């Protein structure tokens, strides 16, 4: 049988066709516009997602036996607000995850409702990107639109609704709305009251691998697929990507070195750190996960090489770095402020410790190490909750650097596993579709079978010891500079 994974991204939808053995048959991408109607705003038309997804599925299945397509599932951009009226018409463009208009609403939730109260209701605190502050923004600034709301949904759930007619979401994606009681996997009555919405306006919740419906007859006819094709709930993009890297089950870890950086830790049990330094969300495997997100990761390397050194030969800049664990230069990687674990928009990037004999290679090394030190800050929060981690997967553009992989292994004292096929949320979506159709008994069983490790970087005891000393020095720098940052904006 064949399974389709749909990765609904911010700039494009990526569709992947996979067979039951995990072999990827075809990948298709379709772009759509992104709109910035005011500075700091970010919107898209949900209708564009559906139109391009339909065209993408047609192209994806054009050369296969369409009768073999059994299921479709999703990984999608999180936190976006999609609102429909009583006639199922989109009321206004979707407000996306990277939209910054809700500063006032976020401050209201964190400061007046209170972070401790929010954490009790939802296991998280408010961020401008989350969905609940966007609902409050519409309520205040577009009351005529707020009054029309019949359905509130997330981006990928709009696709599921258009394909199947099922008004649904999954626990992992809904965790990022600040409307769900993550521990008990249900909508929070208190948060609904705060936002002025009812449970009838919110989708029915499912596990990510559960079947929510099947293709509507008219959609099946247009796609040339059977009406029996199952639609499976899917997951938020980070959880879907974690499925695609096999980061499921208890105590599994994945580090992503993309433009931003994430450390994603799957857990059998629910947990929240006392400072809400990490997001505490439900996971696509039926359990939970913790996630730390830093805003500048591989982008630090790109900035340093291209903007400062005026080169795009990243490998050449790294070849002279040989004395690992001995660098006296430190770099704070906060080019855009920081999210996890500091939640400090005023934080800025700095170099510390240069002397007259500091070299170009020392500076380059500091940038790479600084990113990993900052990711370790989030790892330490997870470890403080009793979570034991011995190894991690790695993905993202930065993961292609052997040097960076070696730094991660030794700074974090983890075995670093490199996987064969890194296709992110689209692969995770296809795996969820296979589980939903009964091909595998669980997400964990599917990931264990389909995700293949091709290499492992082992930590070296002597280097781990050197880096432990450097990390303890690094972690003193941000607290010392924190009072200064607000005054140098």
Spatial contact of 250 and 287, defined as CB atoms under 8 Å apart? yes
Concatenated DSSP letters of 372-395 = HHHHHHHHHHHHHTT----EEEEE
The answer to whether the annotation marks 356 as part of a ligand binding site is no
Element (H, E) at 190: helix 189-195
- CB count within 10 Å of CB 470 equals 18
CA–CA distance, 55 with 432 (Å, rounded to integer)? 22
Token representation of residue 60: 């994806």
- CB count within 10 Å of CB 19 equals 16
Element (H, E) at 242: helix 237-244
Spatial contact of 49 and 64, defined as CB atoms under 8 Å apart? no
- CB count within 10 Å of CB 143 equals 10
Spatial contact of 83 and 161, defined as CB atoms under 8 Å apart? no
Which bin fits 337, alpha (ψ -120 to 50), beta or left (φ > 0)?
left
| Peptide bond before residue 249 is cis, with ω within 30 degrees of 0 | no
Largest CA distance in the chain: 72
CA–CA distance, 366 with 329 (Å, rounded to integer)? 6
Nearest to 372 by CA among 244, 261, 265: 261
The β-bridge partners of 95 are: 43, 81
Nearest to 84 by CA among 11, 194, 162: 162
Query: Helix 46-60 vs helix 155-164: angle between axes, to the nearest 10 degrees?
Result: 60
The answer to whether the annotation marks 1 as part of a ligand binding site is no
The residues that are catalytic are: 237
Spatial contact of 243 and 443, defined as CB atoms under 8 Å apart? yes
Nearest to 94 by CA among 34, 177, 29: 34
CA–CA distance, 109 with 116 (Å, rounded to integer)? 10
Binding site residue list for substrate: 78-79
């Amino acid at each position: 049988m064949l399974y389709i994974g749909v990765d609904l991204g911010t700039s494009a939808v990526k569709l992947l066709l996979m067979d039951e053995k995990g072999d990827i048959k075809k990948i298709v991408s379709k772009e759509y516009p992104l709109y910035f109607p005011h500075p700091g705003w970010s919107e898209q038309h949900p209708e564009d997602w559906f139109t391009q997804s339909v065209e993408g599925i047609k192209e994806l299945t054009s050369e296969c036996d369409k009768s073999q397509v059994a299921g479709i599932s999703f990984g999608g951009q999180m936190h976006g607000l999609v609102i429909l009226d009583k006639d199922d018409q989109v009321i206004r463009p979707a407000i996306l995850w990277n939209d910054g208009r809700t500063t006032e609403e976020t401050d209201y939730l964190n400061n007046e409702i209170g972070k401790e109260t929010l954490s009790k209701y939802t296991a998280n605190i408010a961020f401008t990107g989350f969905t609940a502050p966007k609902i409050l923004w519409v309520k205040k600034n577009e009351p005529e639109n707020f009054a029309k709301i019949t359905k509130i949904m997330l981006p990928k759930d709009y696709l599921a609704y258009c394909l199947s007619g099922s008004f649904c979401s999954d626990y992992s994606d809904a965790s990022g709305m600040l409307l769900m009681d993550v521990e008990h996997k249900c909508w929070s009555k208190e948060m609904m009251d705060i936002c002025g919405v009812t449970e009838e306006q919110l989708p029915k919740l499912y596990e990510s691998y559960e079947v929510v419906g099947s293709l509507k007859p008219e959609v099946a006819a247009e796609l040339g697929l059977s009406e029996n094709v199952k639609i499976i709930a899917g997951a938020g993009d980070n959880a879907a990507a974690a499925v695609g890297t096999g980061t499921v089950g208890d105590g599994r870890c994945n580090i992503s070195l993309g433009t931003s950086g994430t450390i994603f830790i799957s857990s059998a049990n629910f947990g929240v750190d006392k400072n809400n330094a990490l997001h505490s969300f439900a996971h696509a495997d039926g359990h939970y996960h913790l996630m730390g997100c830093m805003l500048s990761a591989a982008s630090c390397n790109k900035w340093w090489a291209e903007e400062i050194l005026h080169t795009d030969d990243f490998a050449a800049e790294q070849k002279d770095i040989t004395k690992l664990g001995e660098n006296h230069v430190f770099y704070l990687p906060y080019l855009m402020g920081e999210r996890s674990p500091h939640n400090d928009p005023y934080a800025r990037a700095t170099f510390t410790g240069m002397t007259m004999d500091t070299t170009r290679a020392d500076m380059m090394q500091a940038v790479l190490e600084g990113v990993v030190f900052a990711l370790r800050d989030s790892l330490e929060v997870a470890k403080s909750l009793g979570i034991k981690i011995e190894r991690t997967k790695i993905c993202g553009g930065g993961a292609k650097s052997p040097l960076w992989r070696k730094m991660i292994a030794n700074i974090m004292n983890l075995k670093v596993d490199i996987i064969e096929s890194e296709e992110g949320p689209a692969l995770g979506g296809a795996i969820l579709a296979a589980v939903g159709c009964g091909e595998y008994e669980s997400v964990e069983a599917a990931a264990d079978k389909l995700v293949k490790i091709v290499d492992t970087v082992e930590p070296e005891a002597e280097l781990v010891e050197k880096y432990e000393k450097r990390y303890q020095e690094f972690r003193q720098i941000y607290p010392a500079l924190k009072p200064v940052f607000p005054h140098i904006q």
